[in-house]
Amino acid sequence: MANHTLLLLSQDNAEYHALLKQAYLPGLTILAPREETEIQATLTRADILLGEPARIKARLRDARALKWAQSTYAGVDLLLGPGSRQDYMLTNVRGIFGPLISEYVFGHLLSIRRHLRHYREQQRHHDWQPIPYQSIHGKTMLILGTGSIGQHIAATARHFGMEVLGISRAGREAAGFDRTYQVQALNKVLPRADVVVSVLPSTPETRGLFNAERLSHIKPGGIFFNVGRGDAVDETALVQALRNGRIGAAVLDVFATEPLPTDSPLWDMPNVVITPHNAGYSFPDQIVTRFSRNYLKYIEGKPMEGLVNFDLGY
């Protein structure tokens, strides 16, 4: 059996190294050098890389033996732009973030609908003051992106008695959705949604999708979530829609520039929740389970999970 060399390029190298040694993967040498000279020397012979997309990108030019790179993130747009190297197999970890992102969306949605921030403030002042609220039961959620993350959110929404609409490139039926549409129908569907959730990847078609004109179709007072990619939203237009009340609240985990610049008006808006791109954290044990399955498929020449299509961008 052929031997393979894996170079770890992650912020969690030590943890990955320990977990992978316990996985007993046949014929695999695992390297996690810290010194730049060692990394450079290893790059010339490593045929497999595992790490965050930015760290992989920085090493692609020198990774002469590369055959396969496993990203620890679902989003790999950093490795897909024009002129990017494409002579290797790239796999991501799509499929493992559905439960985490679903928890995030409904944690924040229920917090907003049940005024939890206000009650916390009232408790501080010993103030007993009921605030009127509405149930999410019977409301409509529109999810942009009907893959595994979208389907998890949809299943949770159905549990709460919501109607669930979906938008995808092909508009095909998907588990958990009452109806799915192609992107061209977005302006017609947006006015029906009480809650809009974007889990879109970054592709040429999705960049700038939510511009000022598009945001004008959102149901007045609707709640907008972005847990996909920041470049799908024109932030200046979003600020305007939040200020004039077109959008009632926004929960944002991703931004055009990250970290979000300190002078962004979004920070100080009372109807905005900002989190630091951590709605779906890449837990090393989950990544190693995925990598191990993929490695066994790789050495047997079988199709791997999460294989990225360089042309489609996901």
Catalytic residue IDs: 229, 258, 277
- Residue 264's identity, in one-letter code, is S
Looking only at the bridges linking them, the beta strands covering 48-51 and 68-71 are parallel
Nearest residue to 272 (alpha-carbon basis) of 233, 298, 238, 296: 238
Q: DSSP H helical segments within the chain, as ranges?
A: 13-23, 36-43, 53-59, 98-113, 116-124, 148-159, 186-189, 212-215, 235-243, 284-300
**Local structure of 165: helix, strand or coil:** strand
| Rounded Cα gap, residues 50 and 64, in angstroms | 15
- Sheet arrangement for strand 179-182: 179-182, 163-168, 140-144, 195-198, 222-226, 247-252, 272-274
| Largest separation between any pair of C-alpha atoms in the chain | 71
